[in-house]
A and B are shown apart, each in its own frame.
Chain A
Amino acid sequence: MLTYILRRLALALSVIMATLVSAFLLFFAGPADPAQAMCPETKCNPARLEAITKSIGLDKPLIEQFLTYFKGLFVGRDFVYAGDTVHCGAPCLGFSFVTRRSVNEELFTRFPNTVVLALMAAVVFVTVGVTLGIIAAVRRGSATDRGLVGASQVLGSIPYYVLALLVALYPVILWNVLPQYSSISAGVGPYFMGMLAPALILGLVTASSYVRYTRNSMIETLSMDYIRTARSKGIHERTVLFKHGFRAAMSPIATILGLDIAALLTGTLITEQIFGVDGIGRRGLAALRSFDLPVIMGTVLIGAVVVVVMNLVVDIAYSFIDPRVRLS
């Protein structure tokens, strides 16, 4: 068991390191000149461009830039800004070229919004998806089943951003059925009400695949011998379904759930952009427009760490649930 966990841990670390190196090479060694981004083209003279290049350390050799960045991640580093020395504690993701604020501050203050959105969506897709999936499995072959499976296929097949955009445009902006997003400073009530529309559409679309997972898993479980035994013993049908069937059917679902929440934390970008939710995905997108490399790097790194850690947790948890995984 321990070797298994260690092996997975080593893999996870190597993936994070590789992401770090390749993202750094891609962004900092790329042809895009970040100094140009900070220097508006109309009033940018070569001297000012050089001063900016120097001040953000772009004139140093690449390996030195990388080591500085790498060191900052683990022990923090100091920045000289307008004569003052600013300390940036570990894990230091650097300073935004454009807003001149620390990337940690830029991203970690926005991360809670992304988490709230992802968790609210998760509540929607788990409850709706699993409930409808069980209903479809129990009434297998009926019109209800066909309707649910068909509707989930249609909902899951239309490009997600088109659905989200239509929800944002019509019920939210035009008809005012659901409130628009407002930041937490405007009050907790309006904040959660504003999250409702993005969480609902994200949750419902994700639920469409859960309906099918749950249905298939439940159908498979209900065809097992022990379910037939339970029924033949005269146990109440509801007990058979929920105590004997549901529990066994849920273990594969639990695995997918962990991965999907990780995917949501990095994948709410489209939802955030369309509904104007001030999360890290939207911040990363804004950084892309201005070639604000430290912020882009930070967003990519946070995303990779979240996915890798969730993968690790799911794998280890699953090896406790299902001993066969460890042996292979």
Chain B
Amino acid sequence: MPEPSAATLIEESEETSSTTAPEHQEVRTGRSPGQVAWARLKRDKVAIICFAIILFFLLVAIFAPFLVSLEAVDPITGAKADPSTVHTELVDFNGLPTVGASSAHWLGVEPRLGRDLFARWAYGARPSLIIGFVAAFASTVVGVALGLIGGYLGGASDKVISWVIDFFLSLPILLLVLAIIPIMQKRIAAGGDLTPEETSTIRFWVLIVILVVFGWMGLARLVRGEVKSLREREFVQAARAIGVPTRSILFREILPNLVGPIIVSASIAVPAYITYEATLSYLGAGLVEPTASWGRTIADAQNLFATYPLWLWPSVIGLSLLVLALSLLGDSIRDAFDPTSRR
């Protein structure tokens, strides 16, 4: 059972005295740390602005086909824009676009391939968001599971799990990930001739798996430490004494006490994975063509950054703003769960 700590009680009484009239104080009931955090988060202006920005990008990603269909029909090609069709008739023999930003191409077209840049940008929000949320969810599940097992069982399984955590934490992860992704890709796609789309889809899932494999340790260590101290507490010992099965002790008694740290860690993981994906795509081990990805666009556009900034900047701004908003929201969530923080 989540027990409100002394600090939470103080916090609560302060809040009540500042927000409600004195006569309501007698009917005050206890609130869980989650409810307290939610109440604090709702009053945090930075968190609300960040949430609005994240919502904006979520909507762009979900309604990307609709947004792209709002662009006018191109007078030269006579077709509506889409993220993957190559239009070499829109670029000159140097590869530079012959058309600028217009009603048909809100951000112009891509040098060399002539693809519509707005469509690439809108669709590019999708892999970032999917990878960020899926990888954060999966690594949270893995981290919590291993942390619970190690911390609660102790003994040999704990030793093995702690050793594996130490082992993974001391690897030069970026370099290893860069090396493993193409190897895994080859192993999965061995022999067969794949279309670029299939290669791209395989790469997408390989990327998520690798991010989870190398991303669960921090939370596992945190959960393990917390569980180790919680299992000695009276309420857990009481549950054990009256014969509550281990699974119920883990999920009913111990896990609810860890909701705060788990939510905080998951919310910080989302921007971290998006950054990781973009970095890997930039270094050439992330997403591959024809998937539209902000990281890849930045890598491609840097060569023409001075002559054609419209290629580089939308992705730079999109990526930076999304990751910034997610990180600051994560910070706000952490502060909301931390009874000692006062900004």
Contacts and interface: CB of A to CB of B under 8 A. Distances in A.
B331 interface: yes
A266 B175 contact: yes
Contacts of A281: 175
B246 to A, nearest CB: 26
Contact of B172 (A156, A173, A304): A304
A273 interface: yes
A160 interface: yes
A11 interface: yes
Interface of A is mostly: helix
B76 interface: no
B182 A303 contact: no
Contact of B271 (A19, A30, A157): A157
Contacts of B274: 159
A261 interface: no
A300 to B, nearest CB: 6
A288 B182 contact: yes
B186 to A, nearest CB: 5
Interface string A14-51: 11001100010011001110000000000000000000
B175 A162 contact: no
A288 B324 CA distance: 31
A156 B327 CA distance: 9
Interface stretch (B37-45, B101-109, B162-170): B162-170
A307 interface: yes
A167 to B, nearest CB: 12
A160 B323 CA distance: 11
A42 B176 CA distance: 30
B190 interface: yes
A248 interface: no
B278 A32 contact: no
Contacts, number: 112
A300 B170 CA distance: 11
B1 interface: no
B32 interface: no
B298 interface: yes
A270 B283 contact: yes
Contacts of A5: none
Most chain-B CB neighbours within 10 Å: which of A14, A153, A158, A311?
A158
B3 to A, nearest CB: 25
Interface in B117-167: 163, 166-167
Contacts of A154: 324, 328
A157 B183 CA distance: 31
B183 A270 contact: no
A311 B165 CA distance: 14
Contacts of B175: 266, 269, 281, 284-285, 296, 299-300, 303
A108 interface: no
B167 A18 contact: yes
A184 B63 CA distance: 52
Most chain-A CB neighbours within 10 Å: which of B170, B285, B302?
B170
A256 interface: no
Interface residues of B, number: 39
Nearest to A165: B302
Contact of A31 (B176, B183, B316, B343): B183
B178 to A, nearest CB: 6
Interface in B267-298: 271, 274-275, 278-279, 282-285, 298
Contact of A300 (B176, B271, B283): B176
B62 interface: no
A11 B166 contact: yes
Interface in B79-120: none
B262 interface: no
A279 to B, nearest CB: 12
B13 interface: no
B51 interface: no
B29 to A, nearest CB: 32
A254 B282 CA distance: 33
Given A11-B163, A162-B319, A288 B275 contact: no
A31 B187 contact: yes
Given A11-B163, A270-B283, A288-B179, A159 B171 contact: no
B180 A26 contact: yes
24 contacts: A15-B167, A19-B170, A27-B179, A27-B183, A31-B187, A32-B186, A157-B323, A158-B323, A158-B324, A161-B279, A165-B298, A165-B302, A174-B305, A266-B172, A267-B172, A269-B283, A281-B175, A288-B178, A288-B182, A288-B285, A299-B175, A303-B172, A304-B171, A307-B172
Given A149-B343, A159-B275, A296-B179, 15 more contacts: A15-B167, A18-B167, A26-B180, A30-B187, A31-B190, A153-B327, A159-B279, A160-B275, A162-B316, A266-B175, A288-B179, A288-B285, A300-B176, A304-B171, A307-B170
Interface of B: 163, 166-167, 170-172, 174-176, 178-180, 182-183, 186-187, 190, 271, 274-275, 278-279, 282-285, 298, 302, 305-306, 316, 319-320, 323-324, 327-328, 331, 343
